[in-house]
Each structure stands twice: as structure tokens, then as C-alpha cells.
Amino acid sequence: MTQSNIVTINIAQKPEKKYDIIIGSNIQQNLNAYLQKYTTAKKFLVVTNETVWNLYKEKIKIDNAKFLILKDGEEFKNIETLKKIYDAAIESQIERKDCLIAFGGGVVGDITGFAASTYLRGVDFVQIPTTLLAMVDSAVGGKVAINHEKGKNLIGAFYQPKFVLSDIEFLKTLDTRQLKTGLAEVVKYAFIEKSCACELNYRFFDFLHANKEKIVNLDTNTIIRLVNICCTLKACVVEKDETEKGQRAILNFGHTFAHAIEALTHYTIFTHGEAVAMGMKMAFKLALSLKMIDKDYAYAGNELIDKYELAGTIPKFDSQKFLDAMLLDKKTESHKLRFILPDADFKVKITTDVNETKIISSIINPNL
């Protein structure tokens, strides 16, 4: 049986960019109908990776499509792989009205989206995310990129897909670690909910507390609801600030610290979500020491992160190297550190000019 619902993203003053995120169970079987409805394409180039292809090659049936199967891994999100996508698009005679399809996690989504944004000065693309992280974050909102050896996502664009098809059935083959990396981004939405300025009050924090068993066991209705809430919250932010001139930065709660953790551990020890979970703990500690929040909320934040066992044991970092790594991140402005810090229950504030001693203390001892 298929079940689905839709979140629409409607970028302010850009109605031509409006698109639907279709969220459901077993909906990939309707993919050809969705492609007909939402695109003008006669031909498709589907970009995926070896892991996803091996799991789903029997299931994913797309009319008039060629498939490009990339190697699996963040280390392949680079210019060499990008060229392979261009080569395959040329080989498949993809024309302006045709379409690229990203079928995979955030790596496949980001690189395929970037290829689509530049090939023939821009062709349509569709996101079919297969990880939780991609469903709640990377496939939504139009950030597309590749990495440079000097840093992650340094070359990219804002380029919205024609639609996103999130079939939660794909999540059933994710291992626990990959599920948890997505859950870290999910929990992030609980802490920024009120700053997303959506009309609906989800009390997502309470939802996550009440539904842990159903969430980790991938109960269909609960996960559809969860992905829907995350996408709705993200849509509210992206619609008002597509290109991150300001408020979109709140989606990076915990990420200033996380990017340094990932860089210092050479992207090999922790998943992105594990680093984000650690970064959110550091953000709570820093906000508490700056008296932006009270102890109760700082503890409640940590408790939710721990309930889902997202952060693990945070290593002892060299604080100077950590500060240097944060300063190298592309999100710094005029070489100034910028943090997204909690300043009330489920609200965050974009904060600069933070006392360095307090930053160091939150890095060295993030525990409350």
C-alpha cells in the first residue's frame, strides 16, 4: 500500500522555482508518473552510487533513462567525479529540456545537483534521497556542491530541484550509524523550531521525546510525519532566504563546531551527524556560559541528544587547532567566527563577537 503527503517549497518572489517534496511509503513505484507530471524531459540520466545501485537496481524502473553508477564515498564528491557526470550526460545526449536524477544520499544529491546547475547552463534535476539525512536536509533547499581539497562544499550553487521524492522504504536498508547521522539533523530542527517562523507549532522537541521507539524502528506513519515536519521547517526558512543572506544560517545550528571536528579528524572518524551532535552540545554549553539560556534548557537539550545516543564520547581537542579550523570554514565572515546559539527554548540566535575564553571552554569541556 502506498501512502504519501506533500510539502511545497515556494521561494519568495521566485514562483518559477516552486516545487513539491512528496513524502511517503512505497511511492517510488509511481516515479514515472511523477516525472511526467513535474518535468518536460524526454530523457533522464540517473546518477547513483554502487551501494544504492546494488540494493535497488531491481526496484528502480525509469522510462527512457541511462544510469551512471559512481563510487561510494564523500571522497568522490569532487571535480573528477563531476566530469564523469558531464561525460555521461553528453554520451546520453541529455538536452536542455531533459533531466538529471539524483538517486542516493547527500553525496549523490549534492554532486548531481551541481552538475545539473552547470551542464548546458542548467538542466532540470530531481532528488530521490535514500538516506534520512538527505530526506530531512540535503535534498531540500537547493544547496548543491562539490568538495575542493582545501575544504568541503567550496564549489557550489543554489539550484532547486523540480521535485523531491522521499520514499521512506529506502531507509530500511540504512545501518544504525547512518540512521543516527540523519537523526542528528532531525534533532537540530527541534532546537531551531521557533526561529523557523512557521505558522504551525509542532512542538517537535516533545514529538521526538514521545516517539523514540517508533522513530528508531522506522514506524511508517511516524517517519512520514517526522520527514514532513523537518521539510516544512526547512521550507519556512529557505522560502524567505534561499541564498543564505541571513536567517538560513540557523539551519547550521551546531555546525560551526561540527565542521572543525570533521576537519580536525580528517572526515574519517565521525559521520557528519555525530559531529553535529557534538557541535550542538558545545553550542548549548557556550550559550549557557554566555547566560543566553538557563540550566534547565541546556540540560534538556543535552538529554534529547543523549536519548538518541547521537554524540558518543567527545574527544579532547587542542583548542587552538580547533579555533583555527573554525576560522577556515567557509561560513566565517571577514575572518570572524559566527555561531548559531540557543537563546530561548527552541530558538536560536546568530551570534558573533563571542568571548574566546568561553568558546575554548565549551570546546575543551562541552559537558554541562
Query: In this structure, what DSSP letter does residue 213 have?
Result: H
105 is in the binding site of which of ligand NAD, ligand GLY, none (Cβ under 5 to 8 A by kind)? ligand NAD
Tell me: does residue 24 bind ligand GLY (CB under 6 A).
Answer: no
Q: Which of 25, 112, 127, 181 binds ligand NAD (CB under 6 A)?
A: 181
248 is in the binding site of which of ligand GLY, ligand NAD, none (Cβ under 5 to 8 A by kind)? ligand GLY
* The residue count for the chain: 368
Residue 125's SS3 state is: strand
Work out whether strand 19-25 and strand 163-167 pair parallel, antiparallel, or are unpaired.
parallel
The answer to whether 148 is a known catalytic residue is no
Which grid cell is 137?
Answer: 536536509
Query: In this structure, what DSSP letter does residue 315 have?
Result: P
The β-bridge partners of 348 are 342
For residues 109, 83, 268, 365, the Cα torsion angle rounded to the nearest 10 degrees is -60
Among candidate residues 16, 121, 335, 367, the one labeled active-site is: 121
147 phi and psi angles, rounded to 5 deg:
-90, 155
Binding mask 228-257 for ligand GLY (x = CB under 6 A): --------------------x--xx-----
Tell me: does residue 166 bind ligand NAD (CB under 6 A).
Answer: no
Q: Which of 31, 38, 39, 72 binds ligand NAD (CB under 6 A)?
A: 72
What's the min distance (Å) between Cβ of 185 and ligand GLY?
Answer: 8
Q: Are 45 and 88 in contact (CB under 8 A)?
A: yes
Which grid cell is 247?
Answer: 536567517
The answer to whether 259 is a known catalytic residue is yes
Q: Which of 25, 28, 39, 51 binds ligand NAD (CB under 6 A)?
A: 51
Tell me which residue has cell 539560556: 293
Tell me: does residue 284 bind ligand NAD (CB under 6 A).
Answer: no
Work out whether strand 65-70 and strand 44-49 pair parallel, antiparallel, or are unpaired.
parallel
Residue 26's SS3 state is: coil
Tell me: does residue 137 bind ligand GLY (CB under 6 A).
Answer: yes
Tell me which residue has cell 533547499: 141
Q: Interface with ligand NAD by CB under 6 A: which residues?
A: 49, 51-52, 55, 72, 74, 77, 104-108, 110, 130-131, 133-134, 137-138, 141, 143, 152-153, 170, 173-174, 178, 181, 272
List residues with catalytic annotation. 121, 143, 185, 234, 244, 248, 252, 255, 259, 272
Q: Interface with ligand GLY by CB under 6 A: which residues?
A: 137, 141, 143, 248, 251-252
